[in-house]
Amino acid sequence: MPLSPEQLAEIEDQRSAPRQTLRAVSEGMENHLYRAYDVLDHGFIRVIDYMGDDAAICQAARVSYGKGTKTVQNDAGLIRYLMRHWHSTPFEMCEIKLHVKLPVFVARQWIRHRTANVNEYSARYSIMDREFYIPAPEQLAAQSVVNNQGRGEALTADESARVLDILKSDAAQCYDHYAEMISDDGKQGLARELARMNLPANIYTQWYWKVDLHNLFHFLRLRADMHAQYEIRVYADAIAKVVADWVPAAYGAFEDYRMGGENLSAQALDCVRRMVKGEKVTQETSGMSKGEWREFEGVLTK
């Protein structure tokens, strides 16, 4: 179960007592505040707090541009300008604090994003819940033959069933042993900080994760991307939906310039210019390696 009855009651409580404030409020974000959105089989994301909105980005930018911004038509135009020119600090004026429940192996990828503040559930202090990520059968796939870092062809129904059996029985056995080791019923019982080493990486953990919008966009650019592992991508996708409502102008610019845009090397740009002039450019005449050319063609034909 993604949320405990206590957590559901807490959310109900928080949403039933609105308060007046003088702070900037994003109507789109108010609708999401505290609500949990399910991710994977037992996970979720929910917004605990936030600061700023599209206007806060412009307000900060205008400190640096002053009267110069009079030439900028509107806030959305200014935000697009900032995004286009990598003027990133105004985006750092907005912050978001999320409560996330996620499998430990996803947390290991997530925690690599160092420009955030994290507070995680303590498995030294508390007993871990008996909750494990068991993939949906359609997510079970063989090692990719083209990408060493990914999955490829889907497993057959028989093989999926075999794999799911192994995952479920190993998780159950590990947790049983964990529970047995920490039990002090008629024995000393092992400390929780030691017993947890027996738990598999698909067990769920929880944390509070606070990050500014600039670094969140960086996270989303990498983790909502098709090259990211599915299990972290679904979290990034869920967060992206919330961000789109929180700062619609900034998210629109991010989608356009970062998610939908591409970085081209000088060599690739030269090829584009030659193509525009009517030259037939091939991998051999491009000066690019086979891998670079394949990716370049992918960009052009996407």
Interface residue list for ligand FAD (CB under 6 A): 112-115, 215, 218, 222, 227-228
- Catalytic residue chosen out of the listed positions 46, 80, 196, 223: 223
* Dihedral angle of Cα 221, 224, 227, 233, to the nearest 10 degrees: 140
Contact predicate 81/73, CB 8 Å: no
Shortest reach from residue 272's CB to ligand FAD, in Å: 26
The set of residues, in sequence order, having a beta carbon less than 8 Å from that of 151 and lying 6+ positions away, is: 141, 142, 143, 144, 230
Q: Which residue is nearest to ligand FAD (CB)?
A: 114
Nearer to ligand FAD, 131 or 212 (CB): 212
Closest CA to 243 of 32, 81, 99, 15: 32
Nearer to ligand FAD, 111 or 172 (CB): 111
Contact predicate 293/283, CB 8 Å: yes
Nearer to ligand FAD, 139 or 215 (CB): 215
Tokens, residue 139: 């997510």
Report the C-alpha gap between 165 and 199 in whole angstroms.
17
Q: Which contiguous run of DSSP H or E holds residue 160?
A: helix 157-182
Nearer to ligand FAD, 65 or 230 (CB): 230
Shortest reach from residue 132's CB to ligand FAD, in Å: 24
Contact predicate 258/216, CB 8 Å: no
Active site residue 223: yes
Shortest reach from residue 237's CB to ligand FAD, in Å: 14
Shortest reach from residue 30's CB to ligand FAD, in Å: 27
Task: Please list the active-site residues.
Answer: 223
